[in-house]
Amino acid sequence: MSLLNCLGTATAALDAQRRGLEVTGRNMANLNTPGYARRSVSIVTGDAQGFTSARVFSTRDAVIDARYRRELQQSVKDGVVADELHAIEGRVQSSGTSIDTRLNAFFDAWSMLASQPSSTTARQGVVAEGRLLASAFVDTQSAFDDARQGIDLRIRTGIDTLNSLAAELALANESLLSRTGDLDDLADRQAQILDQMSRLADIRVVTQPDGSRDVTTASGVSLVGGGIASVIGVSSGSVDGLAQLSLNGVEITGELSGGQLGGWLMVRDTQLPGYLAQLDALASSVVTAVNAIHEAGTTMAGEAGQPFFTFLTGESSLAAAIQVNPDVTDNPSLVAASATGTVGDNGTAQGMAALRTSAPAGGGATLLESWAALVFAVGNDTRTAESRKDTRDTVMAQITRLRDEAVGVSLDDEAAALMRYQRAFDANAQYFAAVNETLMTLMALVGGR
Amino acid sequence: MSDVSAPDAVAELRLSLDAVAAALVAADADALHATQPRLSSALTALRRVRTVPAEQHDLVRAEVTRCRALLDRCRRLGAVASDLSSAALVAAGVSVEYGRVGGASATALRGTHLRKRS
């Protein structure tokens, strides 16, 4: 072997060794880097001249990665639903301002009027409590609507993020296809982007033989194909102004059922509309039942009672439109307390107060029970979502541990490997002086230097 | 003490040093540990060489030269690797020294073959 060959061999060996140590150092430095997969080195003793080469590869497990993302999508969705419903639950259960409190106060006012059927003050009290009850409906409807609008804003921001991530993934795919940059780093970047995308939506990932990652929605509409990313379009609905999503000309609003977007869409389009419908039904029941009794009664002036509650026109829902009849508000003497028209009769006021415990005509539940049913529905949905989230969290913890074992960096392992390596060399180095001395002696024996 | 064949003893030492170098290159601590007994016994055998027949002088001389080159290579590989390891450990906040109770103790980079960039 020539001197140059010797130098070449030594250089290759040193390079291989350097890469081995470099990889260990890099693993340690990237201990907490999201998406980083532990690198390993494969040292190959090369050709007949003893050249040594090292190949660095990342330890990824495609099956665990896919399972991790699948669980992540559902786990994040359950978390989002639980969080949003928890906020809504707090609103409907707030003491003092909730509808049940105001209904009870309204019936108390009618009881007071029943005990003093000729009292103007008691009539003013009925009107005041009626207005507070109407306000409670409007406030609750407004709270649900605000929640929908807030979620809608988060959906729009989430779509912006998803589009950015799709563009980034397409860029990483493009770099990978053109072999520009460290391939393992690009794979890390792809994995990190896919994790972030899975956190947002239920995507499907297809790994191509060239290493690029294609992404589609659950129903198969392409979001990223090689180096090309499609953009999810957002338009405002003509009726409610809420965001409607489309991809490549296909409406996908109802198709996103996982990740944060899936959770937000579910609360915005399924659960909140359900609660709003229940609230409207209750508002309608209150107005119908109260007006039926009031219109059958007689005012202080001996006139037939007017509708106690009316609906404002132009509002999107009954709960938002409920108000005390402006005529009654302006003139509380129009409040009907008598059922017969006789002075001192309190039949209408008593009938109104009895609505607290009796179901309105045609209904199976009292008004308070109807409200309780709505509160129970919100609470039950919240508990269910929290329970699902807890279960998912347990599964996620297991899968995360599996994934960390497969691709994660153990600082202890890496440090221990380096220290063992150092100690092993130190132990061998103890012999080197003795070997050198012995070789000198032997060289002297054979007449060399 | 019996005399042993000088060419055989030197060849065994060369093979041992080859194994040490390979383990160093592969950064394989287990393999490096495994080379110790072989290196030790090769050294012991070499020390038992009392005479070298004249006709084997050239052969032994060439082997000794190769061994010296290998030894030098092992020293350099090991020293550089040791410094790189220290640097990596210090960078990661892990001590390369043992404390009084066997745990990690505070340390600073003390490379002998690598110097930190100022």
Residue with tokens 């060794």: A17
Average of per-residue pLDDT across A397-406: 81
The CA-CA-CA angle for residues A63, A65, A66, to 5°, reads 65
A 52-81 residues inside an 8 A Cβ radius of B:
52
Is residue B75 within 8 angstroms of chain A, CB to CB? yes
- pLDDT class of A54 with cuts at 50, 70, 90: low
* Model confidence pLDDT, tens digit, residues B46-83: 888 888 899 999 999 999 999 999 999 888 888 877 77
pLDDT score recorded for residue A3: 36
Query: Nearest CA to CA, how far is B46 from chain A (Å)?
Result: 7
Structural domain tally of chain B?
A: 1
Say what the pLDDT of residue B113 is: 52
Residue A260 and residue A75: Cα distance in Å, rounded? Answer: 9
Most confident of A62-66, A128-132, A253-257: A128-132
Q: What is the DSSP string of A281-292?
A: HHHHHHHHHHHH
Whether A55 has a pLDDT exceeding 50, the answer reads yes
Q: What is the pLDDT of residue A282?
A: 94
User: Comparing A24-28, A66-70, A390-394, B78-82, which segment has the lowest mean pLDDT?
Assistant: A24-28
Mean pLDDT across chain A: 85
Distance from CA of A208 to the nearest CA of B (A): 33
Identify the band that residue A1 occupies on the pLDDT scale cut at 50, 70 and 90.
very low
Q: Quick one: pLDDT at residue B88?
A: 67
Domain membership of residue B57 (yes or no) is yes
Contact B51 A428 (CB under 8 A): no
Q: For residue A25, which residues of chain B lie inside 8 Å, CB to CB?
A: 84, 87-88, 91-92
The answer to the question of residue B54 being in a domain is yes
C-alpha triplet A80, A84, A85: angle, nearest 5°: 115
Residue A188 reports pLDDT greater than 50: yes
What is the ipTM score, two decimals? 0.76
Q: Residue window 78-97, chain B: list those with CB within 8 Å of chain A.
A: 78, 80-82, 84-89, 91-92, 94, 96
Question: In this complex, do B61 and A447 lie within 8 Å of one another by their Cβ atoms?
Answer: yes
Give the one of B25, B46, B86 whose C-beta lies nearest to A442's C-beta.
Answer: B46
What residues in B contact A55, CB-CB < 8 Å? none
pLDDT of residue A98: 83
Q: Which of residues 416-445 of A touch B (CB under 8 A)?
A: 417-429, 431-432, 434-436, 438-439, 442-443, 445
Q: Which of A342-346, A382-386, A408-412 has the lowest mean pLDDT?
A: A408-412
- Top pLDDT among B97 and B23 is at B23
In the structure, what pLDDT confidence band is assigned to residue B24 with cuts at 50, 70 and 90?
confident
Contact at CB, B43 and A438, closer than 8 angstroms: yes
Which two structure tokens, joined as six digits, stand for A24?
């260990």
Instruction: Confirm if A57 and A40 have CB atoms less than 8 A apart.
Output: yes
- Any domain includes B92: no
Q: What is the pLDDT of residue B1?
A: 44
What is the pLDDT, as a whole number, of residue A181? 72
Which pLDDT score, from 0 to 100, does residue A5 have? 46
pLDDT digits (tens, 9 = 90+) for A219-260: 888 999 999 999 999 998 877 889 999 988 888 898 888 999
Residues making up chain A, counted from first to last:
449
User: For residues A98-115, b (16+ Cβ closer than 10 Å) or e, as one string?
Assistant: bbbbbbebbbebbbbbbe
- For residue B103, give how far its alpha carbon lies from the nearest alpha carbon of chain A (Å): 12
pLDDT at B23 over 90: no
Q: Out of B35, B74, B77, whose CB is closest to A14?
A: B77
B15, part of any domain: yes
pLDDT of the residue at A82: 93
User: Domain-by-domain residue ranges, chain A?
Assistant: 67-396
Taking residues A22-44, what's their average pLDDT?
Answer: 71
A67 band by pLDDT with thresholds 50, 70 and 90: confident
Question: Lowest-confidence range among A2-16, A261-275, A337-351?
Answer: A2-16
Q: A427: which chain B residues are within 8 Å (Cβ-Cβ)?
A: 33, 36
Q: Which residues of B touch A415 (CB under 8 A)?
A: 89, 92, 94
Position B108 in a domain:
no
Q: Do B84 and A52 touch (CB under 8 A)?
A: no
Asked whether residue B86 is assigned to any structural domain, the reply reads: no
B4-8 contact pairs (CB < 8 A, 24+): B4/B45, B4/B48, B4/B49, B6/A442, B6/A445, B6/A446, B6/B49, B6/B51, B6/B52, B6/B56, B6/B60, B7/B56, B7/B59, B7/B60, B7/B63, B8/B45
Q: Range with the lowest mean pLDDT among A89-93, A246-250, A305-309, A410-414? A: A410-414
Question: What average pLDDT does the segment A63-84 reach?
Answer: 90
Answer yes or no: is B50 within a domain.
yes
Cβ–Cβ gap A45/B22 under 8 Å:
yes
Q: Is the dihedral of CA A361, A366, A368, A373 positive or negative?
A: negative
- Domain containing B34 equals 6-80
Instruction: Report the percent of chain B where pLDDT is more than 70.
Output: 71
Is residue B85 situated within a structural domain? no
* Percent of chain A residues past pLDDT 70, beyond the cut: 85
Instruction: Give residue B26's pLDDT band: very low, low, confident or very high (50, 70, 90).
Output: confident
**Does any CB of chain B come closer than 8 Å to the CB of residue A20?**
yes
